[in-house]
């Protein structure tokens, strides 16, 4: 395990969850969705996990799973028991990235269109579902998802962080569009909570043609009753 490079951020991990994808529509969203299901399962078992997004295509991770030509390893998950005391680098990273903070409800969830905030009291059976989306992890804690509730359907939009993909650190260390992976992570939180509450619905790619608030926002997918 020590031969698998993690830029020094991970120490003493007892295992890694690694996946590869091919080119295709919504491949990164699918990747984030599936790996976050595994993360949540591992968490339920009392294990600690950490998402790592980086240059894994030609790394030891890719070699370990015998990735084929045309396959991309956009991220990995480290798994192990949580240390009793956090390392200093962990404390500094959390402090610098505000990883414990979440955007307020009114910046994430809307009703019918982006001009109208979805009030918690009007979200009804989706209150817990959307709260679990709000708590989902994301790269640099950017929380790029936006959800427009229309009737009993919820339409997911990616609001890109301006300049994020062009920042020197992201360009140096990542091979994938991490904010698209974040959308898949949010989808997994939504679906598991909806399933727990016995809400009947599923995912569809069917753009409702809602007016977008800016050029950084794009449609991803819908959960339809």
* Helical segments of the chain, H only: 27-44, 60-64, 88-97, 120-123, 127-134, 168-173, 178-196
pLDDT digits (tens, 9 = 90+) for 80-104: 888 887 766 666 655 655 566 899 9
Its pTM stands at 0.87
SS3 195: helix
* pLDDT for res 209: 97
State the pLDDT confidence band at 72, using cuts at 50, 70 and 90. Answer: confident
Domains of the chain: 15-94 (3.40.109.10), 99-224 (3.40.109.30)
Cα atoms in the 13 Å half-sphere on the side-chain side of 209: 0
Instruction: Of 147, 148, 180, 174, give the one whose Cα is nearest residue 161.
Output: 180
Q: Is the pLDDT of residue 21 over 70?
A: yes
pLDDT digits (tens, 9 = 90+) for 22-40: 999 999 999 999 999 999 9
Give me the chain's average pLDDT, please.
86
* pLDDT for res 167: 64
Q: Is the pLDDT of residue 116 over 90?
A: yes
Who wins on pLDDT, 53 or 19? 19
Instruction: Of 203, 158, 191, give the one whose Cα is nearest residue 177.
Output: 158
* pLDDT for res 207: 97
End-to-end CA distance of the chain: give it in Å, rounded.
44
State the pLDDT confidence band at 203, using cuts at 50, 70 and 90. Answer: very high
Structure tokens at 100: 């414990």
Q: How far apart are CA 184 and CA 215, in angstroms?
A: 21
Residue found by looking up tokens 């569009």 in the block: 177
What is the distance of C-alpha 185 from the center of its chain? 3
pLDDT digits (tens, 9 = 90+) for 129-180: 999 999 999 988 999 999 999 999 999 999 998 877 666 655 555 557 899 9
Q: How far apart are CA 215 and CA 210, in angstroms?
A: 13
């Amino acid at each position: 395990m020590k031969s698998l490079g993690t830029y020094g951020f991970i120490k003493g991990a007892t295992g890694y969850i690694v996946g590869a994808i091919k080119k295709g529509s919504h491949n990164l969203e699918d990747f984030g969705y599936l790996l976050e299901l595994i993360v949540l399962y591992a968490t339920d078992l009392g294990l600690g996990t950490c998402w790592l997004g980086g240059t894994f295509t030609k790394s030891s991770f890719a070699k370990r799973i015998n990735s084929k030509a045309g396959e991309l390893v956009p991220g990995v998950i480290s798994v192990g028991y949580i240390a009793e005391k956090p390392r200093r680098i962990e404390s500094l990273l959390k402090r610098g990235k505000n990883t414990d903070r979440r955007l307020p409800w009114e910046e994430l969830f809307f009703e019918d269109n982006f001009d109208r905030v979805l009030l918690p009291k009007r979200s009804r059976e989706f209150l817990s579902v959307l709260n679990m989306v709000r708590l989902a992890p994301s790269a640099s804690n950017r929380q790029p998802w936006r959800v427009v509730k229309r009737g009993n359907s919820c339409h997911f939009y990616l609001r890109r962080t301006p300049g994020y993909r062009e920042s020197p650190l992201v360009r140096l260390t990542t091979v994938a569009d991490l904010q698209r992976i974040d959308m898949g992570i949010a989808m997994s939180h939504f679906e598991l909570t909806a399933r727990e509450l016995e809400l009947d619905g599923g995912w569809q790619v069917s753009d409702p043609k809602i007016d977008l608030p800016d050029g950084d926002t794009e449609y991803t997918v819908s959960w339809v009753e």
